[in-house]
Chain A
Amino acid sequence: MTEEIIIAGFGGQGVLSMGKILCYSGVMQGKEVSWMPSYGPEMRGGTANVTVIISDERISSPILNAYDSAIILNQQSMDKFEKTVKPGGILLYDGNGISRHPTRTDIYIYRADGAEEAARMETTRTFNMIMLGAFLKIKPIVELDNVIKGLKKSLPERYHHLLPLNEKAIHRGMEIVQDIHVVKKV
Chain B
Amino acid sequence: MEEDFVLMKGNEALAEAAIRAGADGYFGYPITPQSEVMEYLTAAKPWERTGMVVLQAESEVSAINMLYGGAGAGKRVMTSSSSPGISLMQEGISYIAGAELPVVVANVVRGGPGLGTIQPSQSDYFQATKGGGHGDYHLLVLAPSSVQEMADFMPLAFDLAFKYRNPVMILSDGAIGQMMEKVKFQPQRPRMKDEELPGWATTGKTPDRERNIITSLDLDPYRQERFNRKLIEKYQKMKEEEVRFETFQCEDAEYLFVAYGTSSRICQKSVQLAREKGIKAGLFRPITLFPFPEKQVGALADQVKGMLSVEMSAGQMVEDVRLATNGKVPVEHYGRMGGVIPTPDEIVEVLIQKFIGG
Name A residues whose Cβ lies closer than 8 Å to a Cβ of B: 20, 23-24, 27-30, 32-37, 39-40, 59-66, 153-154
CB of B265 within 8 Å of the partner chain: yes
In this assembly, does B119 line the interface, its C-beta being within 8 Å of a C-beta of chain A?
Answer: yes
In the complex, the answer to whether A27 meets B175 with C-beta atoms within 8 Å is no
A27 touches B178 (CB 8 A): no
B346: chain A residues within 8 A (beta carbon): 65
> Nearest CB to that of B33 among chain A residues?
A39
- Contact B180–A20 (Cβ < 8 Å): yes
Measured CB to CB, the residues of B under 8 A from A are: 1-2, 5, 7, 32-33, 117-119, 174-175, 178-182, 262, 265-266, 268-270, 272, 339, 341, 343-346
Q: How far is the CA of A114 from the CA of B58 in the complex (A)?
A: 47
A33→B265 contact, CB < 8 A: no
B268 touches A60 (CB 8 A): yes
| CB pair B179 A62 closer than 8 Å | yes
Q: Are B5 and A61 in contact (CB under 8 A)?
A: no
Chain B residues near A63 (CB-CB < 8 A): 175, 262, 265-266, 341, 343
**Cα(A40)–Cα(B174), bound, Å:** 10
> Out of B1, B7, B175, which one reaches A62, CB within 8 Å?
B175
- In the assembly, what is the distance between CA of A55 and CA of B175, in Å? 19
Question: What's the minimum C-beta distance from B3 to chain A, rounded to whole angstroms?
Answer: 9
Whether B182 lies near A61 (C-beta < 8 A) is no
Nearest Cβ in chain A — how far from B4, in angstroms?
Answer: 10
Q: List 14 A-B contacts (CB under 8 A).
A: A27-B2, A28-B2, A30-B1, A34-B179, A34-B180, A39-B118, A39-B178, A40-B118, A59-B181, A60-B268, A60-B344, A61-B268, A63-B265, A65-B344
- Taking a contact as CB atoms under 8 Å apart, the answer to whether A30 and B2 are in contact is yes
Q: How far is the CA of A32 from the CA of B184 in the complex (A)?
A: 13
Residues of A within 8 Å of B180, CB to CB, are 20, 23, 33-36
Task: Report how far A24 CA is from B181 CA in the complex, Å.
Answer: 10
B-chain residues with CB within 8 Å of residue A62 when the two chains form the complex: 175, 179, 181, 262, 265
Docked pose: A33 CA to B119 CA in angstroms: 22
Given contacts A30-B2, A34-B181, A39-B178, 13 further A-B contacts (CB under 8 A): A24-B7, A35-B7, A37-B178, A39-B32, A39-B33, A59-B181, A60-B272, A61-B265, A62-B175, A62-B179, A62-B181, A64-B344, A65-B343
Contact A27 B182 (CB under 8 A): yes
> Smallest CB–CB gap between B188 and chain A, Å?
22
Shortest CB distance A137–B (Å): 24
Q: In the assembled complex, which residues on chain B have CB atoms less than 8 Å from the CB atom of A32?
A: 182
Point out the residues of chain B lying under 8 angstroms from A34, CB to CB.
179-181
Residues of A within 8 A of B175 (CB): 36, 62-63
**Distance between Cα atoms of A6 and B135 in the complex (Å):** 47
> Within the assembled complex, what's the spacing in Å between the Cα atoms of A37 and B5?
20
Minimum CB–CB distance from B298 to chain A (whole Å) comes to 26
- Contact present for A23 and B7 (CB under 8 Å): yes
How many angstroms from the CA of A39 to the CA of B35 in the assembled complex? 12
Q: Determine the residue in chain B with the shortest Cβ distance to A23.
A: B7
Q: Are A40 and B2 in contact (CB under 8 A)?
A: no
- Min distance, Cβ B204 to any Cβ of chain A, angstroms: 45
A34 to chain B, nearest CB (A): 5
By a CB distance below 8 angstroms, the chain B residues around A66 are: 345
Known A-B contacts A24-B7, A27-B2, A40-B118; A61 and B344 likewise in contact (beta carbons under 8 Å): yes
Which residues of the other chain, A, contact B268 by a CB distance below 8 angstroms?
A: 60-61
User: Among B117, B181, B266, B339, which residue has its beta carbon within 8 angstroms of that of A61?
Assistant: B266
A71 to chain B, nearest CB (A): 17
In whole Å, how far is B68's beta carbon from the nearest beta carbon of chain A? Answer: 32
Complex Cα gap A66–B345 (Å): 10
Q: Is B5 a contact partner of A27 (Cβ separation < 8 A)?
A: yes
Of the listed residues A24, A30, A154, the one surrounded by the most CB atoms of chain B closer than 10 A to its CB is A24
Given contacts A20-B7, A23-B7, A62-B265, contact A33 B179 (CB under 8 A): no
Smallest CB–CB gap between B260 and chain A, Å? 14
Report A-chain residues with C-beta under 8 Å of the C-beta of B32.
39
Q: What residues of B have a CB within 8 angstroms of the CB of A59 in the complex?
A: 181, 265
CA distance A84 to B32 in the complex (A): 29
Q: How far is the CA of A23 from the CA of B9 in the complex (A)?
A: 12
Docked complex Cα distance between A34 and B7 (Å): 9
Q: Which residues of A lie under 8 Å from residue B1 when comparing CB positions?
A: 30
Contact (Cβ within 8 A) B174 A39? yes
A63 to B345, CA, bound (A): 11
B95: shortest Cβ distance to chain A, in Å? 33
Contact A154 B7 (CB under 8 A): yes
